Each structure stands twice: as C-alpha cells, then as structure tokens.
C-alpha cells in the first residue's frame, strides 16, 4: 500500500508560495494556517452576530474583525456536510449520501480519488489535526491527519466512552467527574497547537475542530444553564420576533419572517420517546399561549440548555483563539466557522434513556430541542435539519484572517456552500488539484473559491447549487430556488425577497419550474452515473439497500 504522503504527492501540485517557515513572527509570505470550526445542529440565528441573544463574544469578535456570509449553505445533515466540507464534493458524488435507486447514507465509502483536505495540504508542508466529531468514512489518520480526537458522544456529553485518540479506542475511566465533551474537544485542540508550536514551528497547520454542541442530548454545565434559566419564559414566538428584528438591524436578512408551521413536527416519529418524556413535551410548534404553564417551563428550560451549550462552545473557541495568539499564529490563520445543518426538530430518547426526576441538562436526562425552539433558532427561515428548505440548510459562515482579509465587520451576500471550502483553501495555499490519478480521470470539484468575496461583496458565479437528503430536494440557480419535501410537489421561490419561502410561485410559473427541475435532474443523473462506477466497492449492507430500492 502506498503511504499517504506518496498518494498525496501524485494528487496535487504545489504551485507557488513563500518559504514554509512559521516562526515566532512568521514572514509575510508564509502560507496561512487554516482552522475550520464546525458546530453541530446550531441554528442560523443562534450567534449574537447573527441576531441571537446567546452570549458568543469570541465568535462575535471574529465576525467584527472579519466577514459574515449571509447566504451560506450546508447539506441539511451531519455526515453529508462533513464529507462535502473536507472533500470538496457533494456527498452523493462520494457515496456519502443516498441517491435515487442506489440507496446509501452514512455507511458509504469514498472512492480512492475522493481525498480529504489534509491529503491536498500535505505536499505543501502542512501538518493536520482533528479534534471532535468525525462521522466520515474511514479512519482519521488514514485521511492524512497527524493527530486526532475522534469523539463519538454515545448519548452523553459527560463521558469519553467511545472516543478514540489517533484512531486507538480509549478506555473511559470509572470516574469522569469534571469531563465535558465541549471542553475536552478544546483541550485536545490546544494540545495539538502547543505540540505544533514546540516541535513543528517551521510548518503551517490545518486544524479541523468539530464540536458536537449543541446536538442532542441537551447536556450542559449547571453554571452555563444558570445564565439562561429565565431567558426564554416568553416563548419561541417572542424569541423569533426579537431575533428577526435584530437581524434586520444587522443587515443579515431582507426577507419576511416565516410563520410557524404548527402542523409540522419532527422529521421522524418516536412515540415511545413522547411517553418517556411525559406530558410537558410538545412535538408541534404551537403558539406559545396554547401551552400550559408546565409545558412552557419545560420547553423554556430546554432552550436554556441549548443556549448554554452554544455559550460554552464559544468559551472554548476563545481558549483556542488565545492559544493561537500565544504562539503568534493568530494573524496568519484563516478561521472559518459554520454549522453542519440547521437546528433540529427531532425528539427522541436514545442510549441510557431519560430520568425525568434528574436535573434537566444532567447526564441522566435525554432531551431534544424540538420544533418550537428549533424554528426560533432558525429565524427567519422555514423548517429544520433534514429538510432542504432554508431553515435546514442555512448556516452562519464567519471568515477571519487578519493578514489575508482586509475588510472588517462586513457582510457578504453571495450564495455559497460547504463544497466551496476546499477550492477556497487550495487557492489560498497555492495548490492545483490534479485531474487524473493512476490514469483515471478525477471529477472536477463542483464548488468555487470564495477568495474574490474575501476582498469585496460580490456574487461568486456558478451554474447552480443542488440538494438531496431523505427525499427532500432543491436546486438554486441565481436567486431562483426550486424545493420540495419528500413526496410533495415542487415549490418555487424568488430568494431576492423571499428566503422565508412563503410566496410559492410554482402555480404561476410552470415553465420556470420545468426549467429548474431539468437542472436538478441533470445534476442528479450525473451523480448517479458517477456513483454507479464504484457501487460494487461499497459495503455489502449498502449494496443490499441499493438492490432493495431498485425493486
């Protein structure tokens, strides 16, 4: 088997950049360090700099000194976003999400040509580190990372059970008092950076920090929950209105505020979970005044825990920033922050179950945000994680790089997508991706470099942006978006004024629907054709699902 470095050397070409020397005070022509920070199930409006009331001073500071993208997209689900983010391909191109007639999902295995970002960067002298959630196929170090904390979060933020260090499973200690996953993620990231400064200061680095917060179960430290204990007593209706007003002030949105879809609940039904959680759980975003006092208290407490998780994540990001500053790397580090999907309407009880007598947010509880406050977290957009309406796929993107981005506290309105991250990094570093590997043609990356938008607020030209997940499908061409939930007819929206997706133009513009549907189908057909070439290489379970879906 070829080593990772040999494979990488035939895969990319280093074009040109200055001497690879990151000393105490790096020279101006040194290649930048890259830090990508990903949240899990965080809503579009959760950060203070995107209109939220949650205390996120560290991320707000990065935004105030850098850029905020207002139309940045993910894939609506965790593992497809992670595969797309680090490979530069749509997840369906690399077997990391399902295609019609081919089955698939999170068990798919990437093709040999579908390398991840570290393999691109290694020939340019970079060392790569991973801290947090993985949820990509294969082992982490085999993907080109030099160190890794693979955090599985098996039903609790208060245990290291299931974690691996450098792909070696760790044995969780009997007493883990004081352990909290978000802090542990930052601890590992800081350890990697400290070790890099001590032993590899002559090399640039890439660090992928993937927090699990604020994904369910809603677990947070008591002192963090206390900050928000009474913050959400007025309910999700009031929270949405307040956040929306703030977003308008900030220039984050020009749309209307989407009304709550009171009949739309979680994407998957778990009736047993509703029994375990009791009568205070509500699986519909009903008007707040229709809930009784006990239900209101329960729901407000869940949102307080969600806020505490985001707050703590920001605190830990602050520690990582401090480490970058202490090693004189902050100014020449491109920091990108995003979320893997919108806030989640899911309600379930997994793993160790739920003890209703335990303090909410503690290890013995298993709570999920649910559709009411998920709608508020996704303000002003419609729907949630797994849907490809704007609420499911819209994420903040903060870009901060003092040495490379001269603008500060500015908005960028170009539509963009996680598939754009790899092309952006390759252009910044000065790497050209090869078109062939072992005599085989490698598909072009579908994304675009965002570097022009780093300089000015301009639209990055592209043919389209495409989505498919769990039968939910969409295509965006310019400012036109065609979208449909699984089993529903196409809806058509003009996103210049209607990102809330309220004025369905499909009945009035059938020709535009037909035109965009053809674009979506052509893209889908091309992905199917590509995936079929290596379908036989997929795990037996995946192939069996594909065969079943063809019946």
Please give the average per-residue pLDDT across 323-330, as a whole number: 98
Average pLDDT over residues 115-120: 97
% the chain with pLDDT above 90 = 87
The pLDDT value recorded for residue 13 is 52
- Residue-range domain boundaries for the chain: 4-18+32-549
pLDDT of residue 440: 82
**pLDDT at position 548, please?**
43
Q: Do 82 and 110 touch, CB atoms closer than 8 A?
A: no
> Considering only 21-35, 294-308, 396-410, 498-512, which range has the smallest mean pLDDT?
21-35
What is the rounded CA–CA span in Å between residue 74 and residue 82?
A: 9
From 97, 215, 74, select the one nearest 156 (Cα to Cα): 215
Distance CA 55, CA 12 (A): 41
Mean pLDDT within 330-340 = 98
Q: Which fold has domain 4-18+32-549?
A: Alkaline Phosphatase, subunit A (3.40.720)
What pLDDT score does 433 carry? 85
Q: Which of 317, 4, 12, 88 shows the shortest CA–CA distance to 182?
A: 317
Tell whether the model's pLDDT for residue 504 goes beyond 90: yes
Residue 506 — pLDDT band, cuts 50, 70, 90? Answer: very high
pLDDT tens digits, residue range 529-551?
999 999 998 987 554 454 444 33
The pLDDT of residue 175: 85
Q: Is 546 helix (H, G, I), strand (E, B) or coil?
A: helix
Whole-number Å distance between alpha carbons of 112 and 105? 18
pLDDT tens-digit readout, 278-321 = 999 999 999 999 999 999 999 999 999 999 999 999 999 999 99
Give residue 244's pLDDT.
Answer: 98
- Lowest mean per-residue pLDDT among 93-97, 209-213, 528-532, 534-538: 534-538
- The pLDDT score that the predictor gives to residue 542 is 53
SS3 445: coil
pTM for this predicted structure: 0.94
Give the range among 3-7, 136-140, 432-436, 485-489 with minimum mean pLDDT: 3-7
Closest CA to 387 of 241, 264, 240, 254: 264
Dist. CA 137–CA 139, nearest whole Å = 7
> CB within 8 A of 250, min separation 6: which ones?
49, 50, 51
Residue 15 has pLDDT above 90, yes or no: no
**Parallel, antiparallel, or unpaired: how do β-strands 33-39 and 205-210 relate?**
parallel
Mean pLDDT, to the nearest integer, of 372-396? Answer: 98
- The percent of residues above 70 in pLDDT, for the chain, comes to 93
Band of residue 174 on the pLDDT scale cut at 50, 70, 90: confident
Please name every residue paired with 410 in a beta bridge, in sequence order, or none if there are none. 67
Task: Report the pLDDT averaged over residues 436-445.
Answer: 87
Q: How far apart are CA 293 and CA 298, in angstroms?
A: 9
Indicate if the pLDDT at residue 2 is higher than 50.
Answer: no
3 — pLDDT class (breaks 50, 70, 90): very low
Look over the chain and give the mean of its residue pLDDT values, rounded to a whole number.
92
Q: When comparing pLDDT for 543 and 96, which is higher?
A: 96
């Amino acid at each position: 088997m070829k080593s990772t470095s040999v494979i990488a050397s035939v895969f990319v070409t280093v074009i040109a950049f200055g001497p690879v020397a990151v000393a105490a005070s790096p020279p101006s022509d040194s290649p930048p360090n890259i830090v990508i920070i990903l949240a899990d199930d965080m809503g579009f409006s959760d950060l203070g700099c995107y209109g939220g009331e949650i205390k996120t001073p560290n991320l707000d500071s990065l935004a105030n000194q850098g850029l905020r993208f207002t139309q940045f997209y993910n894939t609506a689900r965790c593992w497809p976003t992670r595969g797309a983010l680090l490979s530069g391909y749509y997840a369906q191109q690399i077997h990391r999400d399902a295609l019609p007639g081919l089955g698939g999902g999170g068990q798919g295995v990437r093709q040999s040509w579908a390398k991840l970002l570290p393999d691109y960067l290694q020939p340019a002298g970079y060392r790569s580190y991973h801290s947090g959630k993985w949820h990509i196929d294969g082992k982490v170090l085999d993907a080109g990372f030099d160190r890794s904390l693979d955090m599985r979060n098996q039903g609790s933020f208060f245990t290291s059970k299931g974690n691996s260090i450098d792909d070696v499973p760790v044995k969780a200690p009997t007493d883990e008092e004081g352990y909290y996953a978000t802090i542990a993620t930052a601890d590992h990231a800081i350890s990697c950076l400290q070790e890099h400064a001590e032993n590899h200061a002559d090399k640039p680095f890439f660090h992928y920090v993937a927090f699990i917060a604020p994904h369910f179960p809603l677990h947070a430290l008591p002192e963090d929950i206390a900050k928000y204990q009474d913050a959400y007593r007025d309910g999700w209706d009031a929270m949405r209105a307040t956040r929306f007003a703030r977003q308008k002030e900030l220039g984050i949105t020009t749309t209307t505020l989407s009304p709550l879809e009171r009949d739309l609940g979680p994407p998957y039904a778990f009736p047993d979970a509703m029994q375990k959680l009791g009568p205070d759980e509500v699986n519909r975003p009903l008007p707040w005044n229709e809930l009784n006092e006990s239900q209101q208290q329960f729901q407000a407490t869940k949102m307080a825990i969600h806020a505490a998780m985001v707050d703590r994540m920001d605190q830990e990001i602050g520690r990582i920033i401090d480490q970058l500053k202490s090693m004189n790397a902050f100014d020449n580090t491109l920091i990108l922050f995003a979320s893997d999907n919108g806030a989640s309407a899911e309600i379930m009880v997994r793993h160790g179950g739920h003890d209703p007598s335990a303090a909410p947010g503690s290890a013995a509880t298993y709570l999920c945000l649910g559709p009411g406050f998920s709608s508020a977290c996704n303000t002003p957009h419609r729907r949630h994680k797994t849907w490809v309406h704007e609420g499911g796929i819209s994420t903040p993107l903060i870009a901060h790089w003092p040495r490379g981005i001269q603008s500060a506290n500015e908005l960028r309105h170009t539509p963009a997508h996680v598939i754009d991250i790899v092309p952006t990094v390759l252009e910044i570093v000065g790497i050209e991706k090869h078109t062939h590997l072992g005599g085989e043609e490698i598909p072009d990356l579908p994304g675009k470099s965002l570097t022009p938008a780093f300089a000015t607020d301009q639209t990055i030209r592209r043919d389209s942006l495409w989505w498919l997940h769990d039968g939910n499908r969409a295509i965006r061409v310019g400012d036109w978006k065609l979208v449909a939930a699984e089993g529903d007819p196409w809806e058509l929206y003009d996103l210049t004024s209607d990102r809330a997706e309220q004025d369905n133009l499909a009945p009035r513009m059938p020709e535009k629907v037909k035109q965009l549907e053809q674009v979506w189908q052509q893209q889908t057909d091309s992905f199917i054709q590509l995936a079929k070439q290596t379908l036989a290489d997929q795990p037996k379970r995946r192939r069996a699902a594909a065969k079943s879906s063809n019946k």
